[in-house]
Amino acid sequence: MTGGRGRFYSRRAVRALVIAAWLGWLPGIRAQLPSNPATLTDRGLGLAQEGRVAEAADLWQQALKTAPDYFPALFNLGYMHFSAGRLENAKPFLARAAAVSPSDFNAHYLLGATNQKLDRGDEALRAWNRALEVRPDHVQLMQVMAVEYGKGRYHREAADIAMRALRLRPDIEDLHYMAIHACREAGDLDAGLKVAADASTRYPRSARASFEYAWHLQKDGRFAEALPFLRKAIQLDPNYEEPHFFYGDWLVKQARYEEALEPLGKAVALRTDYIPARISMARALMGVKKWKEAVDALEEAVRIEPRHPQPHLLMSQVYFRLRDRPKARAAKELSLRLRRQNPTFLEAVQSRPFPD
């Protein structure tokens, strides 16, 4: 295994490792062990430090022929392949290393990283869960796991691990937003509201904290309380597009279409690919009977994201109002077909339990 100065590690060093956020730096310690596989491993370390990695690998393989469960050789071979991007080759060595030394955090961590890079998220999470049993305070790993759980639609588990990290380090601002997002995806808006309220108090100069709290208040039906925080978020960061959109979208839902055009236009100007804002702006334009402008907004949304069914559905409504029945029918049929093909655009992603 290589460290900050290109070193591989002997058994004593491997057990002394502390992997930072994503294998960013690994300190190297050299140790001589008295057994024959230890001698072979240490000779391999010297070769690896000289850049003769292939020769080092041969010696580590020889060590494993003498002692198949010799942890330093297994780990060094696994890390060597991982570093070279040979992930399929790395995995069996790291799996064996983790089995031989189940109390070694680094073996489980690196096995998880290997599986994650191989798009085997469930296997990565299992390895990382074993790593957390060894290091239950490793907040950086919890952050990585929350993201991976979310990718796999294990939203309840993502929320649990995010909240666990936040309880350990409530002084880290980004952990609040990670927990808020995870709770939202898990459908636990009450927990998200509590975290957002705490974040808005801890970080009063943060536009993101003010917006997240406003979002949850609005979702809870408390828009009168949410509005000052939305305005505060806009004031703190005028180039933050989400507060503009959510304010404008709320106005559309209140049928205050003319008022909604300004904040929605601002959101779209700040982020041209903001499809929800473009759709809401088209609704506002339809509300004030600006049909051509509505079609233009919807056509631009289709150009940016042709798979989204909602712009076509709204176009069918505009064409119907304009008495163009063939275009209205065609747009509606296309919207229905796209909805079947791309249900995630309109339907909430369902959570599922993580398989132990």
Q: Are 67 and 35 in contact (CB under 8 A)?
A: yes
Supply the DSSP symbol for 267.
H
Per-residue confidence (pLDDT) for residue 345, from 0 to 100 = 73
User: Please, what is the angle between helix 155-168 and helix 139-151, to 10°?
Assistant: 160
Nearest CA to 244 out of 268, 228, 225 is that of 268
Per the document, the length of the chain is 356
Q: Whole-model pTM?
A: 0.82
Q: How far apart are CA 15 and CA 24, in angstroms?
A: 17
Per-residue confidence (pLDDT) for residue 110, from 0 to 100 = 98
Per-residue confidence (pLDDT) for residue 50, from 0 to 100 = 84
What's the burial of 50, exposed, middle or buried (CB within 10 Å: 0-12/13-18/19+)?
A: exposed
* Block residue for tokens 């380090």: 169
Q: Are 291 and 320 in contact (CB under 8 A)?
A: no
Q: How far apart are CA 265 and CA 300, in angstroms?
A: 13
Per-residue confidence (pLDDT) for residue 49, from 0 to 100 = 83
Mean pLDDT in consecutive groups of 10 residues from the start of the chain, 356 residues? 44 40 35 66 85 90 93 94 95 98 97 98 98 98 97 96 98 98 95 98 98 96 94 96 95 96 97 96 97 95 95 95 94 93 73 85
Per-residue confidence (pLDDT) for residue 15, from 0 to 100 = 40
